[in-house]
Structure 1
Amino acid sequence: MRVAITGGHGFLGWHTACRLRALHGTRAVRLGRAEMASAEVLGQALADVDVVLHVAGVNRADSDAEVEQGNVRLAETLAAALKAQGRPLHVVYANSVQAQLDNPYGRGKAAAAAILSETVQAIGGRFADLLLPNLFGEHGRPGYNSFVATFAHEVVAGRTPQVTGDREIELLHAQDAAAALIAAVGQDRPAEVVPGEPVLISSVLAAFEEMRANYSTRGEIPDLGTAMMRNLFNTYRAAAFPEMWPLSPQVHSDDRGDLFETVRAGGGTGMAFMSTTRPGQKRGEHYHLHKVERFFVVKGEAEIQLRRLLHDDVVTFRLSGDKPSFVDMPALWVHNIRNVGDTELVTMFWADQLLDPDNPDQLPETIDPPR
């Protein structure tokens, strides 16, 4: 299956491309503003594609008219490019539940759905129109993608955002939205609502403030007993990375030696394990979709490298057992740990879930990005 994602470098586009890569072995063609600038350029980009996931959209602009017409123009450009292919293509549209409302964004998204539905039907393809609620997740843009992203960045920065008009908002994690888009490929699904979970706005803020008080200061893991809390925690961790790392716990010393905590968790299931690594050897070279994982260097000299999936820049930390320290691995970041000293490296690892050999949430990938 050859898949293209419009808006492929944006928030949902990146999450969808990551999920295709991780679980389906598919390297999506990620289309951005340059490809969406004209039907001719977009048509060339779709020449070898079977499926288009239309994620690109306009939800912020200088005027209401730009928001409404911007979504219509994107659909018109895609429709013209699809017609130029002269063959059936399947399209899945990341629409919004606001398409059911009479506001500029909703009208624009609804009009775009009508344009794409008619076009895909005319070329003999399948069209799925998925209405998504408010999305959140790792690496959302504050002030743009969702209030969750804004709250996370504000709280990490030490500020306290204000809640006005507190109410329940239906939230859907970006990976769950991506899963719905992928599952709809090749199906006709008109105006289907993808359900989220109602969450009180103030409860999101309260969760993040608790994370700042306990996690950002001493690395305490909150209770991850629900998928929503785990997803909020991963959102917070993405906003805090890499600035908060590494952390060093308080060391209690006496004539017997040193004592320090490696993991304090608020609840849920987890597992801890140790490793020794010979000089020059490394471990890891994988990433996780959801798993929370901690690397704690107890003895020796270590270098930890991390790279955000589908990006090139590498973040590097140097840790030493002379000052026991730890770094938590963000979701959707490739990571490894290497012994850069002359003696044995002793590392303690902790994960928030017991290892399931049939579904380990551990996807192999090297730090050096594949070309």
Structure 2
Amino acid sequence: MMNVLVTGARGFVGKNLCAALKNIAEGKDRSFPLSPDLRVLEYDLQTDPTLLDGYCKDADFVFHLAGVNRPKEQEAFMEGNFGFTSTLLDLLKKHRNTCPVMLSSSIQAELDNPYGQSKKAGEDLLFRYAEQTGAKVLIYRFPNLFGKWCRPNYNSAVATFCHNIAHDLPIQVNDPSHQMTLVYIDDVVRELIHALCGQETRDGKFCRAEPEHHATLGEIAEQIRAFKQYPQTLGVPDLTKDSLVKKLYSTYLSYLPESCFAYKLKMNKDERGSFTEILRTAASGQFSVNISKPGITKGNHWHNTKNEKFVVVHGRGLIQLRKIGTDENNQPYPVVNYEVCGEEITVVEMIPGYTHNIVNLSDTEELVTFMWANETFDPEKPDTFFEVVE
């Protein structure tokens, strides 16, 4: 059994880290080279302080995340960021416990302000502790961290922007050109668990979490405002792996009020059924749902470049395709038929240069088809030409 002590367990980083460690302990996450035989010892302001002595005796690794960011009095910076660190290390010394200790510091430790000075004092204390005891220490000078569960209107511009914009509250951007260095919370947690496995990322005598993202305050605010419009535009952001926009969008969604979790879509209805767009993307096309009433045929058109994928998810239908034009004998090309149903999910490609349709074969049931197109519909250039399949 490995005992992992997490101070500041109810804070932003602590809450995310503890959740990840518990997933490992419960066997839900096997993506790390770590045995599930671990116990998380959570310590925070609400914890009985008498428990800390036993935790320091039993700990096999310490994540020291507790700290003070915005105290009422400046003196509390040193008390919270240096004083408690001193208490923690004294208890480890008392029990001759030389387990590894990770310290959450800040890039502001390089600055001459009360917060930076207190963080620097904590760093120096930990380095001296390592010299005295031989214990392994890992000090992370974190830049601006962001992600779910970060407290808005406190010390994170991203959290404040996401919360306020999601709740239709104003935001204040004092200097839009201010450059921000950001690290996403999932990347921080992944790095910390790797550190627990002895695989930390070193940067000289300090450690770091990667990747770092860079953007101006104005760019971040503008991007988050765009997220607010997605239920109306049906847009989604750039979902490229490790893109800043992808991570900002996940963060923004975590601040949505419950009343905004769901939104209605416009169903284009007629006597044949309905057609409803779900998503429009800049790089990955358009996603839609088509509902055909019993006996109805839809389509009978072809495209030059646009291609689509049809997936019937309910009902029984017939998808037909025929190549445009005639063969060498001046005869129409044969019709290709695919009978499909919701009980056996099948993808049928709509090939450029082939006119196609979809027929509901049922006399009683609606036919429900999920559709993807490689481009969003442009009424100025529809690339859609009527021609009956047969």
What TM-score range do you get, normalising by the shorter chain? 0.5 to 0.7
Q: Residue 83 of structure 1: SS of its match in structure 2?
A: helix
Q: Which amino acid aligns with 2:194?
A: A
Tell me if 1:153 matches 2:163: yes
Match for residue 33 of structure 1? Answer: 45
Residue identity over aligned pairs, in percent, reads 28
Question: Deviation string for 1:108-159 (max 9, x for gaps)?
Answer: 1111122223334434421011111110111211112410000001111123
Tell me if 1:212 matches 2:228: yes
Q: 1 or 2 for the larger relative contact order (CA 8 Å, sep ≥6)?
A: 1
| 1:35-114 correspondence runs (5 A) | 35=47, 38=49, 40-114=50-124
- Residue 63 of structure 1, CA deviation: 2.2
Match for residue 184 of structure 1? Answer: 195
Q: Residue 258 of structure 2: SS of its match in structure 1?
A: coil
How does the TM-score come out when normalised to structure 1?
0.67
Q: Which amino acid aligns with 1:10?
A: G
Match for residue 14 of structure 2? Answer: 13
Match for residue 3 of structure 2? Answer: 2
Name which one, 1 or 2, has greater alpha-carbon Rg. Answer: 2
Q: Is the 8 A contact 1:253 1:259 kept in 2?
A: yes
Match for residue 240 of structure 1? Answer: 256
Alpha carbons of structure 1 residues 123 and 268: separation in structure 2 relative to 1, 3 Å: farther
Question: Deviation string for 1:196-239 (max 9, x for gaps)?
Answer: 222110111101111111x2446532222352011000011001
- Residue 261 of structure 1, CA deviation: 1.9
Match for residue 237 of structure 2? Answer: 222
Unpaired segments of 5 or more residues in structure 2?
A: 24-28, 290-312, 315-367, 373-390
Match for residue 118 of structure 1? Answer: 128
Q: Residue 255 of structure 2: SS of its match in structure 1?
A: helix
Q: Is the 8 A contact 1:171 1:198 kept in 2?
A: yes
Q: Residue 269 of structure 2: SS of its match in structure 1?
A: strand
Q: Residue 63 of structure 2: SS of its match in structure 1?
A: strand
Alpha carbons of structure 1 residues 216 and 63: separation in structure 2 relative to 1, 3 Å: farther
Question: Deviation string for 1:79-121 (max 9, x for gaps)?
Answer: 1221122232111111111111111111111111222233344
Q: Residue 240 of structure 1: SS of its match in structure 2?
A: coil
Question: Deviation string for 1:53-99 (max 9, x for gaps)?
Answer: 11111011112221233211220121122112223211111111111
Q: Residue 58 of structure 2: SS of its match in structure 1?
A: coil
- Divergent runs of 4+, >4 A: 186-189, 268-273, 346-350
- Residue 4 of structure 1, CA deviation: 1.6
Query: How far apart, CA to CA, are the structure 2 residues paired with 1:349 and 1:132?
Result: 44
Unpaired segments of 5 or more residues in structure 1?
A: 274-297, 300-345, 351-371
Q: Residue 278 of structure 2: SS of its match in structure 1?
A: coil
Match for residue 199 of structure 1? Answer: 215
Match for residue 251 of structure 1? Answer: 267
Q: Residue 42 of structure 1: SS of its match in structure 2?
A: helix
- Residue 347 of structure 1, CA deviation: 11
Q: Which amino acid aligns with 1:156?
A: A
